[in-house]
Structure 1
């Protein structure tokens, strides 16, 4: 089970126990307007530049940002394994963070596999919206193995903004399947540039979900 947090207990790194193992979380704050919880791709980390671009903009808007290294990555694995177990651990992590940062709007986000987790769990954890970076619509070259239903699990109930590269081999979701689908020109699955555009796309949604407008 997740360890109980304390209101205002943020700034720096924390470890959260879940039934799937320990998660490591880096928490940064520009205020207490909202809580944005971000996570990595399947084999990646929370230092990905697109995650940092969204982090920086959210902090500038007065939010608390928690970048989560999920238990399987802390344990040294590159693949998340069971989606059911992954989502259950994620719900425990978010519940702990909500105790640390209570009574503010919750926003979820992630890149690649992390975007899938954010979408699959958004309704369950009570998120106001989702920032889905490089949402992997299907495995490369296998459009028949669509993950559209994971996106719709969130977007049929709340606003999801999808930001994908124009050359992403994992595909680009249809504009009708999210509140906004922004395509970053010339970019592959792992963004090499366009980080200002990513932050600028996320900002109005962060403002809306965070109750700033």
Structure 2
């Protein structure tokens, strides 16, 4: 079942594309988009397809600035505020969901990491996590990954934004030949995410 609608936030309406499997589901994966992109990015769509087929609900969230037609990203605080508001409404809409996993690609992955504890997430899926601005490794964002929650990072080995390092709760999967857009093999990236969820018992199949 697929549904698209909007959720009001303090930063304007966010759009949510909800896909749920036929039958019951106890886990929902909520995904955000990159700074100048949208939820139709190949990796996000492939993850949606693979995860829904495995019995997990997926919600792709379009931030208010993109709904308003702007490409320049909103400040981090505004992104986090809107995302947190969306998660609160989603929890009300899906009261029987036992487990919420948050994530996204690039900027969306950073938002998910920064807010994961506040929204009560069980884990994080970070696609193309931008470890640092291109050519600026001294401006590391590694601290954002240190949430204490189970975290999957999927990055290409040619990503100019860098490659995060694994940690006690952070698993890093390198996709050979991929750059920041992860467009080379979206289905392969989606399989990594599905298998990670499955290994934790978060999928029914």
Alignment pair present for 1:118 and 2:106: no
Alignment pair present for 1:20 and 2:27: no
Distance change in 2, residues 1:200/1:211 (3 Å)? closer
Is the Cα contact below 8 Å between 1:108 and 1:127 reproduced in 2? yes
Specify the alignment match of 1:102 in structure 2. 95
Is the Cα contact below 8 Å between 1:129 and 1:158 reproduced in 2? yes
* Ranges in structure 2 where 5+ consecutive residues have no aligned partner: none
Give the one of 141, 147, 153 matched to 1:147.
141
* Ranges in structure 1 where 5+ consecutive residues have no aligned partner: 1-9
CA distance in 2: counterparts of 1:74 and 1:111, whole angstroms? 17
Give the one of 130, 133, 142 matched to 2:124.
130
Following TM superposition, by how much is the alpha carbon of 1:211 offset from its aligned partner in structure 2, in angstroms?
5.9
The TM-score with structure 1 as length reference comes to: 0.89
Specify the alignment match of 2:50 in structure 1. 57
Alignment pair present for 1:160 and 2:151: yes
RMSD over equivalenced CA pairs, Å: 1.6
Specify the alignment match of 1:210 in structure 2. 202
Is the Cα contact below 8 Å between 1:162 and 1:182 reproduced in 2? yes
Is the Cα contact below 8 Å between 1:36 and 1:66 reproduced in 2? yes
Moved over 4 A (4+): none
Which structure carries more helix by proportion? 1
CA distance in 1: counterparts of 2:74 and 2:17, whole angstroms? 23
Distance change in 2, residues 1:150/1:209 (3 Å)? farther
